[in-house]
Amino acid sequence: MSTQEFLVRLTAPDGAWTLGPGTHLIGRSSRCDLTLESDPRVSKRHAQLTVAGRSIIVRDLDSRNGTYVDQQRIVGEHPLSAGATLTIGRRELAVSLVSWVDAPPKTKAKSSDRSEAGESWYRNMLASLPDSGEVSDHIEALTNANTTRDPPRAVRVAGWAVVLASTTHNGRWLDTVWTIYHRQSVLITAEQLAEVEHIIEGTRSATLQPLERYIVDVVTPIAKTDADAERTLRALKLIHAIMLDRTQYSAGPHSLRTRRPS
């Protein structure tokens, strides 16, 4: 039996956050994976959370006001379990584990940047995620150069990839999204595009080439005769400009040479 992957849900009175497998930085800085910028008691780099299967380890990064687990200040690393309370600054975060194949908790993140429709799509996609091996099988089939066109399946699997990009902050999942849609020669859905716009600033290690190929080869030709595609093209060019402004993204041979509007 394969090892089940889990997501960690941190729930506070003013919102909730879902973190996937990997190491996540928590703090006041916008460079953190989980940014708590409105709380002056939170250090710029306050704590680090590592998720691996059912294991959750929190580490205090020498923060000024400390990191607390169940009201006890920790030193260095400390294990977290489902049901524990993690306190950082003024926020008390209830810790829970969510399986990739289980529905997420009903409490949703309160974010002014994500629409109710987008949040509903996100929860539904998170609940529909199969195990990681099945995701990989679907992605491999849809990104194969010789694959047959299967737009409904492409939309479903690309949605999984967007959710994985959102929960892991790993840009390779966005590369996968653009590659799938490029192979299928169809437009990304409005819901998925809205989610990408929401997460792009906090996503790391993506590359420009897959997005550029998708824009140049697929979206631009469709946009010449389709108003919806024209709106999609403008949104994708803005995403491209945001990525281009960040040093971790490398321009590809199809570089669009766009810049973020001032």
Q: Is 25 a residue whose pLDDT tops 50?
A: yes
Q: Token pair of 23, please?
A: 């190491």
Letter for the amino acid at 214? Answer: Y
Question: Alpha-carbon distance 121 to 152, whole Å?
Answer: 16
User: Mean pLDDT over residues 133-161, rounded?
Assistant: 70
Mean pLDDT of 217-245: 91
> Looking at residues 24-52, what average pLDDT do you find?
89
Mean pLDDT across the chain? 78
Q: How many CA atoms lie within 13 A of 44 on its CB side?
A: 3
Beta-sheet strands, E only, within the chain: 6-12, 15-19, 22-27, 34-35, 47-52, 55-60, 67-69, 72-73, 77-80, 85-88, 91-99
Place of tokens 């996100």: 122
Burial call 30-63: b when 16+ CB within 10 Å, e when fewer? eebbbbbeeeeebbbbbbbbbbeeeebebbbeeb
Q: Evaluate whether 154 touches 180 at the Cβ level (below 8 Å).
A: yes
Query: Cα torsion for 32, 34, 35, 39, to the nearest 10°?
Result: -130
Q: Given pLDDT bands bounded at 50, 70 and 90, which one contains residue 46?
A: very high
Instruction: Give the pLDDT confidence of 175-200 residue by residue, as tens digits.
Output: 989 998 998 899 998 888 988 888 88
Interatomic CA distance for residues 122 and 107, integer angstroms: 13
Instruction: Look up residue 69 and give its amino acid.
Output: V
Using one digit for the tens of pLDDT, what is the confidence trace for 84-110?
999 999 999 999 887 644 433 333 333
Q: Read off the pLDDT of residues 108-135 as tens digits, 9 standing for 90 and up.
A: 333 334 445 455 555 555 555 555 555 6
CB atoms within 10 A of CB 155: 18
Q: What is the DSSP letter of 102?
A: S
d(CA 226, CA 108) in angstroms, rounded, equals 35
Contact call for residues 96 and 11 (beta carbons, < 8 A): yes
Bridge partners (DSSP) listed for residue 97 = 8
β partners of residue 77: 59
**Amino acid identity, position 47:** A
Residue 213 CB coordination number (10 Å): 16
Q: Is the pLDDT of residue 249 over 50?
A: no
| pLDDT for 235 beyond 90 | yes
Beta bridge partners of 15: 12
Q: Report the pLDDT value the prediction gives residue 260, as an integer from 0 to 100.
A: 41
Instruction: HSE, CB side, 13 Å, CA atoms: give it for residue 211.
Output: 30
